[in-house]
Chains A and B, each alone.
Chain A
């Protein structure tokens, strides 16, 4: 039981139908789909942080939402603490999930209601789920959550409005509202990208701390490989709805094997002009996920592509040390 991963995702697929419009319907055009996630599998052991890294539209948020039961997969299985989300009845699924799985969104300015005090915002989840019977119990739980989110002393913050908080403090309030239900699994979707550099570190350190002290399992979603490298135990690089490389953070960063990961690594700005390096700048932008390229979906932009790349779809290859990448050049 203890060796069982906190989260197990198997062959996840999520398609969104593209609206055809009236003309499309009348002319019986075939239904097209956005392939938001197209066959993704991974495990996260309890207490580990997995970073999902990739460009806009690569399917990171959709993957996160599926693991929380907030959107239903088209195909595939998701097991949270051994329970298959699809096997649970709708009501029971919700109940099980809300106790243990939470999400933090990107924008602390939008996630908070300007007319709610910190106490109201953080206690709301308790009320929604009827998890505190008395006011004293509510205050106790909110205080503990604020404390865990690093808002100390909590009493100073209870009656403040968002306008009276700094950006970092607002994001801490958002995190406290996620913590108040004592989750064991957390999805943090770009939690620092809207924050100034000076306060990003504080939130990243807080997330690390939550893992260390509360053993919370996390998916950290970002397009910034540098912050992923800092926070994550394992990194999964996504491209057009698939994982193209996954492995221990150090291994993926020290020895990226997929051409896309290599390019991504080379363009991460490094804060030292003495370490300027040749950037592998890919041409064009990510193709749309409706009409996917044949073969390897990265081949139209890949600097290393060989003729077979446009025909054969690469599978994740084992590279040892729990490291896998999906590229035809790795197969021999």
Chain B
């Protein structure tokens, strides 16, 4: 049994313009000490999927089906009170950009202290020491604990958010675009930190990003999403070196590689389909280029092309792989 496993998760948004499905039958699982990269273009449903599993969807969002099993317990069946022990207690999320959950009028240290008290992580009298220990662990100098979030740089805020997650002793940390707005060097610092924590504390980490490079650098497994659905899911080596889905292949061909600076980049013409007006067949078909007539009619099933390597493309066939 996996630490976290998401099965057939589907989410819809109810808007004035109608109902549309932002996440469609998503499946993945996560083990302690491993990291999963969730990649895809803007609007493909990455954040929605993560908010759904935290049960933090905005009012317009509804989970229409699926299970989110944490240690075998389906979080979607829990009462709101029961859910509290899991949200932040077991699974924490570092939010994308502006949704930053730090309170602007409290010092960073006191916010971490509050989380420690709320989750009774350590006896009350040990709280001050624990704040120092956590900040040290994420690389924030002790002097900064009395400062307010606005006095922190973007990188320090990410570190503080990670310290909050550690304060709750979460076993799973979801980092939504943790490095997108940061400089490359600060990005490298944060990725190093996440990797170190993953190894030292045996954490399971989900990194949500549109940056394939980040995923290739730090993730063990990769799930590529397209238009709310899984396109391809496997360990990182298989996704990057034996990709099967045309979307994955084309994403890779569009990504500059400093080790091959002169190899021609090929963009993917067109843009992702509007979720309220999906093409009848495969949702990538209009941009695919290698699909056939069947692709315009049939929505591809997810098949296992090799052990642990999943793909939703009508052209995909099970493969024999030599190791």
Contacts and interface: CB of A to CB of B under 8 A. Distances in A.
A269 B267 contact: no
B43 to A, nearest CB: 9
A273 interface: yes
Interface residues of B, number: 43
Contact of A268 (B153, B192, B240, B258): B258
Kindly name the residue among A55, A271, A279, A283 whose own CB sees the greatest number of chain B CB atoms within 10 A: A271
Kindly name the residue among A264, A269, A276, A279 whose own CB sees the greatest number of chain B CB atoms within 10 A: A269
B274 to A, nearest CB: 11
Interface string B154-195: 010000000000000000000000000001111111001000
Contacts of A263: 185
B254 A201 contact: yes
Interface in B234-280: 236-237, 240-241, 250-259, 261-262, 265-271
Given A205-B265, A253-B261, A273-B236, A268 B213 contact: yes
A267 interface: yes
A271 B187 contact: no
Contacts, number: 131
Contacts of A166: 270-271
A196 B41 contact: yes
A223 B188 CA distance: 13
A271 B252 contact: yes
Contacts of A70: none
Contacts of B7: none
Kindly name the residue among B241, B253, B254 whose own CB sees the greatest number of chain A CB atoms within 10 A: B254
Contacts of A279: 188, 192
Interface of B: 41-42, 153, 155, 183-189, 192, 210-214, 216-217, 219, 236-237, 240-241, 250-259, 261-262, 265-271
Interface of A: 55-56, 166-168, 196-202, 204-205, 223-227, 229-230, 249-250, 253, 263-265, 267-276, 279, 281-283, 285-286
Sorted nearest first, the 4 A-B pairs with minimum C-beta distance are A269-B213, A202-B267, A229-B261, A201-B265
12 contacts: A55-B184, A56-B183, A201-B255, A205-B267, A253-B258, A263-B185, A267-B188, A268-B258, A269-B213, A271-B216, A271-B240, A281-B188
